[in-house]
């Protein structure tokens, strides 16, 4: 009888657990499937890790460290480290209150992570504690903060990062574990994505990061008024363009011809066709174009394969506007 039970368990195991597939084969399969999804019009945003370090920035490392600080997560998350490192997170998109991802395993699995928006009372307290202590949006997004502000925004209970009770997740794989390796890979992938797009943490929590900047301090930083410290914090036009995604008007006294050209220049509308045309007009390869915009070649490929209006982040939009202006001057 005991032998029969073992046989039934073995058969049951084989029914629900597919045969191991080598990493190289999974990657090749994932690439084929992702290509099919792109042809169907899906905007694919892969997570790309260089080396073994998953997150390097203040916000990326802060996200991973925060999750690992909870006992249940610290036991489950390691399952996904190798997956995110070897490129198995084929797609990861962060929006208000949710993350949608595609992870390559024996096949492609879809993962969704839902995160409760930050409570208004908690956000109000964070703003009060940070008032006058952050000089600019650049300092905030780059994580160049004082120890006091760093401790405030990353506080385990009262900070910006969600607690386990505020996180729900699903995966359509056959693994019965509460957090499968595909979900844990996505959780690490979020940290990696915050390296390049820290503003997405605020999008995810449903708050406006600009509200953490004191209006008077931000104004002084922009125009360079006040003390020597404030002047050192002043932002150049290039910095402002990269943060806010706009082109600043020329100062008074600039050449009239240039001002007239700026007034007549239509705003750049980022669509797949418009971006592809802009790149062709400039005679650039995808790699050259990506470097000039300040994004990865994969991002340029995603833009050109997308459907409808594209919403680049501030840095990307600023880069596209610069190249659009350059193309109009030629």
Q: What is the DSSP string of 63-117?
A: HHHHHHTSHHHHHHGGGGHHHHHTT-EEEEEEETTEEEEEEESSSEEEEEEEEPP
Instruction: Name beta bridge partners: 168.
Output: 114
Dihedral sign from CA coordinates of 148, 152, 153, 156: positive
Is the pTM above the cut of 0.75?
A: no
Q: Walk me through the domains of the chain, giving residue ranges and CATH numbers.
A: 12-118+160-197 (no CATH), 120-155+208-235 (no CATH), 246-329 (1.10.260.40)
Residue 313 phi/psi, 5-degree rounding, is: -70, 175
Per-residue pLDDT tens, the chain, 330 aa: give them. 333 333 333 344 444 455 666 667 766 777 787 788 888 888 888 898 888 899 999 999 999 999 988 877 877 888 888 889 888 899 999 999 999 999 988 788 999 999 999 999 999 999 999 888 887 888 888 888 888 899 999 998 999 999 999 999 999 998 887 889 999 999 999 999 999 899 999 999 999 988 888 544 443 433 444 444 444 444 444 443 444 343 434 444 444 444 444 444 567 888 888 888 888 888 888 888 888 888 888 888 888 877 666 778 878 888 888 888 888 776
Interatomic CA distance for residues 113 and 169, integer angstroms: 4
98-104 and 89-95 as β-strands: parallel, antiparallel, unpaired?
antiparallel
Instruction: Return the pLDDT at 240.
Output: 39
Coil, strand or helix at 257: helix
């Amino acid at each position: 009888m005991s032998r029969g039970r073992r046989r039934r368990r073995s058969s049951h195991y084989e029914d629900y657990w597919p045969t191991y597939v080598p990493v190289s084969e999974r990657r090749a399969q994932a690439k084929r499937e992702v290509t099919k999804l792109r042809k169907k019009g899906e905007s694919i945003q892969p997570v790309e890790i260089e080396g073994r370090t998953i997150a390097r920035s203040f916000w990326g490392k802060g996200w991973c460290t925060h999750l690992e600080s909870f006992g249940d997560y610290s036991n489950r998350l390691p399952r996904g480290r190798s997956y995110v490192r070897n490129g198995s997170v084929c797609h990861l998109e962060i929006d208000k209150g949710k993350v949608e991802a595609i992870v390559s395993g024996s096949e492609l699995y879809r993962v969704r992570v839902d995160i409760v928006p930050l409570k208004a009372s908690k956000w109000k307290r964070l703003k009060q504690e940070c008032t006058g202590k952050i000089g600019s949006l650049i300092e905030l997004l780059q994580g160049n903060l004082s120890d006091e502000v760093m401790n405030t925004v990353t506080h385990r209970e009262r900070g910006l990062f969600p607690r386990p009770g505020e996180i729900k997740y699903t995966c359509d794989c056959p693994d019965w574990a509460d957090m499968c390796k595909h979900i844990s890979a996505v959780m690490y992938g979020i940290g990696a994505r915050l390296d390049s797009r820290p503003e997405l943490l605020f999008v995810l929590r449903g708050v406006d990061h600009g509200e953490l900047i004191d209006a008077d301090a931000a104004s002084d930083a922009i125009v360079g008024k006040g003390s020597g410290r404030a002047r050192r914090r002043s932002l150049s036009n290039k910095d402002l363009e990269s943060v806010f995604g706009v082109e600043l008007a020329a100062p008074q006294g600039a050449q009239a011809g240039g001002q007239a050209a700026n007034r007549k220049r239509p705003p750049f509308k980022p669509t797949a066709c418009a971006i592809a045309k802009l790149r062709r007009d400039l005679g650039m390869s995808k790699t050259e174009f990506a470097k000039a915009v300040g994004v990865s070649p994969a991002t340029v490929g995603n833009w050109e394969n997308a459907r409808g209006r594209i919403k680049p982040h501030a840095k990307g939009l600023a880069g596209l506007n610069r190249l659009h202006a350059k193309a109009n001057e030629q």
